[in-house]
């Protein structure tokens, strides 16, 4: 079992007077990050892009700081900063400050963002324009196109619940009242968890955060279920050029944290120069230069994908090699030696990455995401503890559950022959 003291941290948690949870990762000498995690990410959308639109409005200005610039000036005068992000599970607002002396200012600004944002028509129209431009920029990025296309194949309600930026149509037609209603339903004490990291005492944190007065939910928050899209497992974009980009993905509906831990270990199998598919594709065959493995998880499900690029004429061979490598691992199983090696690499990955109080805040937020229903008392080290306990048999079981090549999804961009497209469509429908 991994303990926080091994990483030089003291971990505490408690409930505030209004019922919100506080999680403190205390570390001597570290700067401080105050983060509000609101269980209102894109999976809770009633209109595509609504959660992300709310994120924009929250930090566009408040009653005391009537613009984003005013907010920035207030926190930057002490050497701090703020940011906001939206994922499928959470909207997160983070205030970063250098010293505990600035906690009062940091909480004041966080309180303003959560309770006194400017829900005005002029702010709404400005952010609407910004988001539409953000959509255009994302649409021009090949990796984002591959990811979004895989999501669209896997989830029948992707456009509504999971496409963070929404669509041009949904954002253009959105009204200010939609954002206000979404905020009222979701920015509540029982749907907000505070994560604090750095050199600060719990008493200071508790006394400050108790000043944020969020209402209780009027309606019970329901986590959106993930519905499958079984009618299609491939999308092809005809795009002229000397390169074809492809992504092969698997939907991973995780039932517990052990499965999540297993998938994190499995990701290491496909990362780096020593991974099986890079060895086959690059060093033995010279078909590709590199590749990227993505494991995008959120509460209850996730996507595991392998992406690379090659000459259009090599797409069939590249797809076959990736398919054969994935199938071979499922057939042969994962050995105990491989399992130990993966655990060493993963533990090292944690240690290399968890070097700042901001990174610890992000790790704790991941634990919050997987605790939406309050079923587990997880924290930033819970997954690492599950990883430590896994053996080759349990890891192989997780692999075989999710990595069935008959259940793969594929996205291909490039100028391919009809025979190539037909071949891939045929062999994924076997």
**Inside any domain, residue 220:** no
Could you tell me if 378 and 246 lie in one domain?
yes
| 430 pLDDT higher than 60 | no
**Inside any domain, residue 191:** yes
Could you tell me if 200 and 250 lie in one domain?
no
The domain containing residue 63 runs over which residues?
A: 4-209
Could you tell me if 190 and 256 lie in one domain?
no
Could you tell me if 73 and 154 lie in one domain?
yes
Q: Which two tokens stand for residue 82?
A: 């703020």
Which CATH number do you get for residue 382? 3.30.830.10
| Spatial CB neighbours of 106, under 8 Å, sequence gap ≥ 6 | 32, 34, 75, 80, 95, 96, 97, 208
Q: Which two tokens stand for residue 174?
A: 């959105």
**Inside any domain, residue 229:** no
**Inside any domain, residue 40:** yes
| 333 pLDDT higher than 80 | yes
Three-class SS of residue 239? coil
Using CA atoms in the order 80, 86, 89, 90, what is the torsion angle rounded to 10 degrees?
30
Phi, psi of 38 (to 5 degrees): -105, 125
pLDDT tier at 62 (50, 70, 90 boundaries)? very high
| 220 pLDDT higher than 70 | no
**Inside any domain, residue 221:** no
Could you tell me if 186 and 322 lie in one domain?
no
Q: What is the mean pLDDT of residues 303-318?
A: 91
Instruction: Give the model confidence (pLDDT) of 200-216 as tens digits.
Output: 999 999 999 999 999 99
Number of domains the chain is built from: 2
Query: Which is more confidently placed, 81 or 282?
Result: 81
| Euclidean distance between CA atoms 152 and 170, whole angstroms | 16
pLDDT of residue 373: 60
| pTM score over 0.75 | yes
**Inside any domain, residue 14:** yes
Sign of the C-alpha dihedral computed for residues 326, 330, 336 and 340 taken in this order: positive
Three-class SS of residue 78? coil
Could you tell me if 192 and 321 lie in one domain?
no
Q: What is the mean pLDDT of residues 227-253?
A: 88
Stretch (H or E) spanning 82: strand 81-86
Boundary of a domain, candidates 163, 192, 209: 209
CB contact at 8 A, 301 and 251: yes
CA R_g for the chain: 23
pLDDT of residue 205: 95
**Inside any domain, residue 217:** no
Buried b (16+ CB within 10 A) or exposed e, 156-181: ebbbbbbbbbbeeebbeebebebbee
Instruction: Indicate the range of 141-145, 164-168, 198-202, 398-402 predicted with least confidence.
Output: 141-145
Could you tell me if 34 and 163 lie in one domain?
yes
Neighbouring CB atoms inside 10 A of 235's CB total 17
Q: Helix, strand, coil % (nearest 5) of the chain? A: 50, 20, 30
pLDDT tier at 231 (50, 70, 90 boundaries)? low
Could you tell me if 183 and 83 lie in one domain?
yes
Task: Output DSSP code: residue 88.
Answer: S
Could you tell me if 140 and 57 lie in one domain?
yes
Three-class SS of residue 62? strand
Closest CA relative to residue 349, chosen from 275, 292, 267: 267
| Spatial CB neighbours of 59, under 8 Å, sequence gap ≥ 6 | 68, 71, 82, 84, 93, 113, 117
Could you tell me if 268 and 205 lie in one domain?
no
């Amino acid at each position: 079992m991994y303990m926080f003291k091994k990483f030089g941290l003291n971990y505490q948690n408690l409930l505030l007077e209004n019922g919100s949870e506080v999680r403190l990762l205390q570390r001597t000498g570290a700067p401080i990050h105050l983060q509000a995690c609101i269980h209102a990410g894109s999976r809770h959308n009633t209109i595509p892009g609504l959660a992300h639109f709310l994120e924009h409005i929250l930090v566009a200005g408040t009653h005391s700081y009537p613009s984003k610039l005013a907010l920035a000036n207030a926190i930057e005068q002490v050497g701090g900063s703020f940011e906001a992000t939206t994922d499928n599970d959470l909207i997160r607002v983070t205030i970063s400050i250098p010293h505990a002396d600035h906690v009062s200012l940091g909480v004041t600004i966080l309180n303003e963002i959560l309770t006194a944002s400017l829900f005005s028509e002029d702010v709404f129209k400005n952010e609407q324009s910004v988001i539409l431009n953000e959509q255009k920029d994302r649409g021009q990025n090949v990796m984002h196109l591959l990811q979004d296309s895989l999501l669209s194949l896997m989830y029948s309600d992707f456009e509504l619940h999971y496409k963070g930026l929404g669509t041009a149509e949904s954002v253009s037609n959105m009204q200010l009242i939609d954002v206000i209603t979404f905020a009222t339903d979701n920015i509540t004490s029982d749907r907000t968890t505070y994560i604090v990291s750095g050199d600060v005492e719990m008493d200071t944190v508790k006394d400050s955060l108790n000043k944020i007065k969020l209402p209780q939910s009027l309606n019970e928050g329901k986590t959106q279920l993930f519905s499958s899209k079984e009618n299609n497992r491939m999308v092809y974009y005809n795009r002229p050029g000397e390169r074809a980009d492809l992504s092969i993905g698997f939907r991973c509906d995780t039932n517990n944290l052990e499965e999540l831990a297993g998938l994190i270990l499995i990701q290491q199998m496909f990362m780096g120069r020593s991974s099986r598919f890079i060895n086959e594709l690059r060093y033995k065959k010279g078909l590709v230069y590199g590749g990227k493995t993505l494991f995008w998880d959120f509460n209850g499900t996730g996507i595991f994908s392998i992406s690379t690029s090659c000459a259009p004429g090599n797409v069939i061979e590249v797809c076959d090699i990736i398919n054969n490598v994935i199938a071979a691992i499922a057939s042969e199983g994962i050995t105990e030696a491989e399992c130990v090696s993966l655990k060493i690499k993963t533990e090292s990955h944690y240690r290399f990455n968890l070097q700042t109080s901001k990174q610890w805040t992000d790790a704790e937020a991941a634990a919050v995401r997987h605790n939406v229903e309050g079923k587990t008392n997880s924290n930033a080290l819970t997954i690492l503890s599950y990883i430590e306990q896994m053996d080759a048999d349990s890891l192989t079981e997780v692999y075989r559950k999710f990595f069935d090549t008959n259940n793969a999804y594929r996205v291909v961009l490039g100028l391919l022959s009809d025979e190539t497209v037909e071949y891939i469509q045929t062999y994924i429908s076997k």
